[in-house]
A and B are shown apart, each in its own frame.
Chain A
Amino acid sequence: MNGPAPVFQLLPESVLRERGQREVFCGLTGIVWLHRKMQDAFFLVVGSRTCAHLLQSAAGVMIFAEPRFGTAILDERDLAGLADAHDEIDRVVADLLARRPDIRTLFLVGSCPSEVIKLDLARAAERLNGRVTPGVRVLNYSGSGIETTFTQGEDACLAALVAELPRAAADAPPSLLVAGALPDVVEDQLSRLLSAIGIPAVHFLPARRRGELPAVGPSTRLLLAQPFLADTARALSARGARHLPAPFPFGIEGTTAWLEAAAAAFGIGPEVVERVTRPARERAQAALARHRPLLAGKRVFFFPDSQLEVPLARFLSRELGMALVEVGTPYLHRQHLAPELAWLPAGTQLSEGQDVDRQLDRCRAAQPDLVVCGLGLANPLEAEGLTTKWSIELVFTPVHGYEQAGDLAGLFARPLDRRQRLAA
């Protein structure tokens, strides 16, 4: 035998830090999935026509299904004087709430233009809270491109929501809070597993409705379901919640370790998790086995997009036998990702930030079998002969947990399968 396998160590040379053109979405895009999750919230972006156009492009046809988001488009008159802009916000909000009496939470979402002209949306939210219907809370956060990258919009939104959570009593029994918007079906699965393991009280942030916001306090144990929640975790910690370090629940290993971390915090041993999850793990094993022949040994290159890249690369490498060429991420949260990084193969090349032209040069030189990238790059790279998986789908599709492990592998296998079929 060759002795123990070399393990990944996060050294300065493991991370290529780059600055330059970043081919990424801004945080406003988060609205597209957040508004599906929070059923009585409305997201009002205060921004430009570009912001409205972005939402429209990112939302695709969803914008027509009675969306609970919109843009208050700034025009010249708003730029002329700030006092006037505040009156305008009041008018638009009053209009909106009169027409949408079902709304309980209204998010004023900051954009690049509103930040640059220093429109104080926090003050606007505060003022509106005193005026609008008692049932409606007005909150604010920034989804601007200058402050946030793609999924960081969710982080900013949830961090704003933390202040709204009721305070748990000092002597409240321990409870588990899972942070990160998950598709309802996934949330229900994870909730069932956590209960079966014996965790007494499990809550999710965001809640589906305003009235269901969980309480938080020193008895709260915080488990992150998504890797991009730095500010949310900090805000919850400031309110006493204790963060449970864990890998993220992608694939069988990730989901099991994530559940074990929760169980351990409640004094429940891994053997209980092992017993409760066995049927689901066996199903997932069978599902992954179907995709492994196509993926094993293939070389994958990640462009930065959502911060999901490191956990997904870990899943592809350990559970499906893929080789990692470069794993790009817009931001590498060293603490939250520590359990994930420990699972990466030794010598994995990480990159943080982006200079898209230079990264494209590296990608072309490496000629990977599969490139995970955004929609602006996918077709041009396909035309050059590379096989791509567009990354936005990984944020919209249910991919967490055991029952979705096969679907997650399938998302990466399908483009390779397709390439083979069309070549035949």
Chain B
Amino acid sequence: MQLTLWTYEGPPHVGAMRVATAMRDVHYVLHAPQGDTYADLLFTMIERRDQRPPVTYTTFQARDLGGDTAELFKTTVRDAVTRHQPAALLVGASCTAELIQDDPGGLAATLQLPLPVIPLELPAYQRKENWGAAETLYRLVRGLAGLPPAQYVRPPRPAERAPRANILGPMALGFRHRDDLREVRELLALLGIEVNVVAPLDAHAADLARIPEADFNVVMYPELAGTLADWLARQWQQPRTRQVPIGLGATADFITELATLAGVDPAPALQRIDARARWFARSVDSTYLTGKRVFIFGDACHAVAAARVAAREIGFTVAGLGTYSREQARELREAAALYGVEPLITDDYLEVERHIAALQPDLVLGTQMERHIAKRLGLPCAVISAPVHVQDFPARHAPQMGLEGANVMFDAWVLPLMMGLEEHLLAMFRDDFEFSPQAAPSHLGATAPSSSNLGASAPAPLPAPAPASNEPSWAVEAERELHKIPFFVRGKARRNTERFARDRGVALITVETLYDAKAHFSA
């Protein structure tokens, strides 16, 4: 058992719902107890969909357990097919139904339905939402497209036909999937690559059967479409992309990779890469962004991409990098090595919080959860990855991928930081009555931390064990001096000074210790 207050991912059947809901004519019959329909409102409220998800639940109750839940499941399947007339049917179990072992796949098979039925085995006590989505997408395509003939060899593309690709991965409840797709389509168009099938977003079952007709696959989100793309590469000999086009450098690499797969010249497309974000980052107004320490957490694909943008395209220092996607831990470890930081692979948000509190970064890039940790610690934050709340399914075009994605990220990440001039004034007039340390960034309203000792004073969700008794204490004048340091770096200064004092066995921190520590750490 694991004590959990927050879960980064839902159970795997929610991943299956994301695939079914993304599509046009696929229905999902889910063997689940009463109450599991709560998942509908993720789609109708957070993503603001205007239709109910195409999911029928058996919603069994205790009194049904004494009777025949298998019969209930069969009746539900029959009714759902009659009512909704889908082109393909997914059947599966939620965590509780997995325990009663009614075998949805076997039961559905006995009904001899006149449509393809794809049974899902989603181990709810081992796996999570993204895995469930990836597995469902793979099972669906495998079920609808089938296996190639024995000794299949992909015929070469006729010279007169344009290269064709599938775009795999965008789905319901995906962080900016709708807008990322538009950007990726534009990149493909730049290279003269035609889109064969986009899946699962807005695809019909018949589209999935045509997936093998493409020359190669564009994998937008490895967590969600990697399983399918690897299977297509093995069975249907369709190569796949590895590069995720988040950030300008990554977009350029993506274009090069696409061009290689399509057998076209990338140069004309690369010359057109000219996003405002590149100039904005170079403009002198951005100089103050240099070396700001940023902590990054999210799903692996977004976290790794964000680290590259932060380090190479905005000039931040990556102070920490982590993910909750255990399946993609290797990619994240490689990236962390690149920036010389310890990778954080965890789905325990208390651990993430401890990590952030210890690092005292200048900016947190994370999920909805990190937004709240950052708020508690008084740190600026921007959201780069699911899980997200309703405000991150915006009405406006807001991609993360491609050229416009780079522009969107530049704005979103810089916004929470104190504006350069404002920061400068704060440092100069630290005792000024209007530029007080308690003043928030003027463009963000009153969200400034209320106390100097950010980490320790903020309420933690579960109080940490009491600190060791050999903590150095602060002399009054040293404490006063500390308060002359702008608040947004004060937490770090306090931490560094205390560490410095501890390392040297200094019991009382004086003004001298404070400046010794400053000299030590800035050396």
- Residues in chain A within 8 A of chain B (CB atoms): 20-29, 44, 46, 48-50, 52-54, 56-58, 61, 63-64, 66-67, 69-76, 78-79, 85, 88-89, 91-92, 95-96, 99-100, 112-113, 115-117, 144-147, 149, 357, 374-380, 382-383
**Bound complex: CA A186 to CA B128 (Å):** 41
Flag B455-486 by CB within 8 Å of A: 1 or 0 each.
00001011100000000000000000000000
Question: Which residues of B sit under 8 angstroms from A58, Cβ to Cβ?
Answer: 38
What distance in Å separates the Cβ of A53 from its nearest Cβ neighbour in chain B?
4
- Pick the residue among B40, B125, B375 that contacts A376 (CB under 8 A): B40
Question: Which residues of B sit under 8 angstroms from A26, Cβ to Cβ?
Answer: 33-36, 38
Contact A147 B62, CB 8 Å, known A21-B57, A58-B38, A380-B52? yes
- A146:B60 contact, CB within 8 angstroms: yes
What distance in Å separates the Cβ of B254 from its nearest Cβ neighbour in chain A?
33
What distance in Å separates the Cβ of A87 from its nearest Cβ neighbour in chain B?
9
B523 at interface by CB-CB < 8 Å:
no
What distance in Å separates the Cβ of B128 from its nearest Cβ neighbour in chain A?
7
- A28:B35 contact, CB within 8 angstroms: yes
Question: Which residues of A sit under 8 angstroms from B94, Cβ to Cβ?
Answer: 50
- B1:A89 contact, CB within 8 angstroms: yes
**Bound complex: CA A96 to CA B461 (Å):** 11
Closest to A26 in B: B35
Question: Which residues of A sit under 8 angstroms from B58, Cβ to Cβ?
Answer: 21
**Bound complex: CA A64 to CA B368 (Å):** 10
Question: Which residues of A sit under 8 angstroms from B33, Cβ to Cβ?
Answer: 26, 112, 144-146
- Pick the residue among B4, B37, B99, B128 that contacts A22 (CB under 8 A): B37
Question: Which residues of A sit under 8 angstroms from B7, Cβ to Cβ?
Answer: 49, 52-53, 56, 71, 73
**Bound complex: CA A54 to CA B1 (Å):** 18
B416 at interface by CB-CB < 8 Å:
no
Question: Which residues of A sit under 8 angstroms from B1, Cβ to Cβ?
Answer: 46, 72-75, 78, 85, 88-89, 91-92
- B76:A63 contact, CB within 8 angstroms: no
Partner-contacting stretch, out of B41-49, B281-289, B335-343: B41-49
- B56:A21 contact, CB within 8 angstroms: yes
Question: Which residues of A sit under 8 angstroms from B36, Cβ to Cβ?
Answer: 26, 50, 54, 145
**Bound complex: CA A74 to CA B6 (Å):** 15
B51 at interface by CB-CB < 8 Å:
yes
The 6 closest A-B pairs by CB, nearest first: A26-B35, A145-B35, A376-B40, A383-B50, A112-B96, A48-B95
9 A-B pairs (CB sep. < 8 Å): A50-B14, A50-B124, A52-B6, A54-B38, A66-B459, A71-B7, A74-B125, A79-B125, A145-B34
B83 at interface by CB-CB < 8 Å:
yes
B61 at interface by CB-CB < 8 Å:
yes
- Pick the residue among B5, B48, B52, B57 that contacts A70 (CB under 8 A): B5
Question: Which residues of B sit under 8 angstroms from A74, Cβ to Cβ?
Answer: 1, 125
Question: Which residues of B sit under 8 angstroms from A382, Cβ to Cβ?
Answer: 50
B65 at interface by CB-CB < 8 Å:
yes
B10 at interface by CB-CB < 8 Å:
yes
- A113:B95 contact, CB within 8 angstroms: yes
Name the residue among A25, A26, A58, A379 with the largest chain B CB count within 10 angstroms. Answer: A379
- Pick the residue among B49, B76, B463 that contacts A100 (CB under 8 A): B463
- Residues in chain B within 8 A of chain A (CB atoms): 1-7, 9-11, 13-14, 33-42, 44-45, 48-52, 56-62, 64-65, 76, 79, 83, 94-96, 99-100, 123-126, 128, 372, 375-376, 389, 459, 461-463
**Bound complex: CA A339 to CA B33 (Å):** 33
- Pick the residue among B44, B57, B376 that contacts A378 (CB under 8 A): B44
What distance in Å separates the Cβ of B26 from its nearest Cβ neighbour in chain A?
18
Contact A380 B41, CB 8 Å, known A49-B128, A144-B33? no
- B44:A92 contact, CB within 8 angstroms: no
Question: Which residues of B sit under 8 angstroms from A380, Cβ to Cβ?
Answer: 44, 49-52
Contact A116 B100, CB 8 Å, known A48-B11, A50-B94? yes
- B38:A379 contact, CB within 8 angstroms: no
Closest to B53 in A: A376
Name the residue among A21, A61, A76, A149 with the largest chain B CB count within 10 angstroms. Answer: A21
Contact A379 B48, CB 8 Å, known A71-B4, A145-B33? yes
- A115:B4 contact, CB within 8 angstroms: no
- B45:A375 contact, CB within 8 angstroms: yes
What distance in Å separates the Cβ of A270 from its nearest Cβ neighbour in chain B?
42
What distance in Å separates the Cβ of A111 from its nearest Cβ neighbour in chain B?
8
Question: Which residues of A sit under 8 angstroms from B59, Cβ to Cβ?
Answer: 20-22, 145
What distance in Å separates the Cβ of B54 from its nearest Cβ neighbour in chain A?
11
**Bound complex: CA A184 to CA B124 (Å):** 39
Name the residue among A25, A88, A112 with the largest chain B CB count within 10 angstroms. Answer: A112
**Bound complex: CA A72 to CA B1 (Å):** 6
Closest to A354 in B: B59
What distance in Å separates the Cβ of A21 from its nearest Cβ neighbour in chain B?
5
**Bound complex: CA A26 to CA B57 (Å):** 14
Question: Which residues of A sit under 8 angstroms from B11, Cβ to Cβ?
Answer: 48-50, 53
Question: Which residues of A sit under 8 angstroms from B125, Cβ to Cβ?
Answer: 48, 74-76, 78-79
**Bound complex: CA A183 to CA B59 (Å):** 31
- Pick the residue among B2, B5, B13 that contacts A75 (CB under 8 A): B2
Question: Which residues of A sit under 8 angstroms from B60, Cβ to Cβ?
Answer: 146
Contact A377 B52, CB 8 Å, known A63-B6, A73-B2? yes
Question: Which residues of A sit under 8 angstroms from B64, Cβ to Cβ?
Answer: 146
What distance in Å separates the Cβ of A102 from its nearest Cβ neighbour in chain B?
9
Question: Which residues of B sit under 8 angstroms from A147, Cβ to Cβ?
Answer: 61-62
- B126:A76 contact, CB within 8 angstroms: yes
Question: Which residues of A sit under 8 angstroms from B51, Cβ to Cβ?
Answer: 380, 383
What distance in Å separates the Cβ of A131 from its nearest Cβ neighbour in chain B?
17
- B35:A24 contact, CB within 8 angstroms: yes
Question: Which residues of B sit under 8 angstroms from A25, Cβ to Cβ?
Answer: 35, 38
- A75:B34 contact, CB within 8 angstroms: no
What distance in Å separates the Cβ of B68 from its nearest Cβ neighbour in chain A?
14
- B76:A112 contact, CB within 8 angstroms: no
Closest to B369 in A: A64
Question: Which residues of B sit under 8 angstroms from A85, Cβ to Cβ?
Answer: 1
- B463:A99 contact, CB within 8 angstroms: yes
Question: Which residues of A sit under 8 angstroms from B100, Cβ to Cβ?
Answer: 116
New A-B pairs, 18, CB < 8 Å, besides A28-B35, A58-B38: A23-B40, A26-B38, A27-B35, A50-B94, A50-B95, A50-B124, A53-B7, A56-B6, A61-B372, A67-B5, A72-B2, A76-B126, A78-B1, A96-B462, A112-B95, A146-B61, A147-B62, A149-B35
- Pick the residue among A28, A67, A89 that contacts B461 (CB under 8 A): A67
What distance in Å separates the Cβ of B48 from its nearest Cβ neighbour in chain A?
6
Question: Which residues of A sit under 8 angstroms from B65, Cβ to Cβ?
Answer: 116, 146
- A116:B99 contact, CB within 8 angstroms: yes
**Bound complex: CA A375 to CA B37 (Å):** 10
- A96:B52 contact, CB within 8 angstroms: no
- A49:B126 contact, CB within 8 angstroms: no
**Bound complex: CA A112 to CA B96 (Å):** 6
**Bound complex: CA A58 to CA B83 (Å):** 29
What distance in Å separates the Cβ of A390 from its nearest Cβ neighbour in chain B?
9
Question: Which residues of A sit under 8 angstroms from B57, Cβ to Cβ?
Answer: 21
Name the residue among B34, B124, B461 with the largest chain A CB count within 10 angstroms. Answer: B34
- Pick the residue among B3, B375, B461 that contacts A92 (CB under 8 A): B3
Question: Which residues of A sit under 8 angstroms from B6, Cβ to Cβ?
Answer: 52, 56, 63
- Pick the residue among B3, B52, B61 that contacts A72 (CB under 8 A): B3
**Bound complex: CA A26 to CA B11 (Å):** 17
Question: Which residues of A sit under 8 angstroms from B76, Cβ to Cβ?
Answer: 21
What distance in Å separates the Cβ of B356 from its nearest Cβ neighbour in chain A?
14
**Bound complex: CA A95 to CA B4 (Å):** 12
Closest to B2 in A: A73
**Bound complex: CA A29 to CA B34 (Å):** 13
Name the residue among A96, A376, A382 with the largest chain B CB count within 10 angstroms. Answer: A376
What distance in Å separates the Cβ of A82 from its nearest Cβ neighbour in chain B?
13
Closest to A356 in B: B37
- B462:A49 contact, CB within 8 angstroms: no
Closest to A144 in B: B33
**Bound complex: CA A52 to CA B124 (Å):** 13
- A375:B4 contact, CB within 8 angstroms: no
Closest to A93 in B: B3
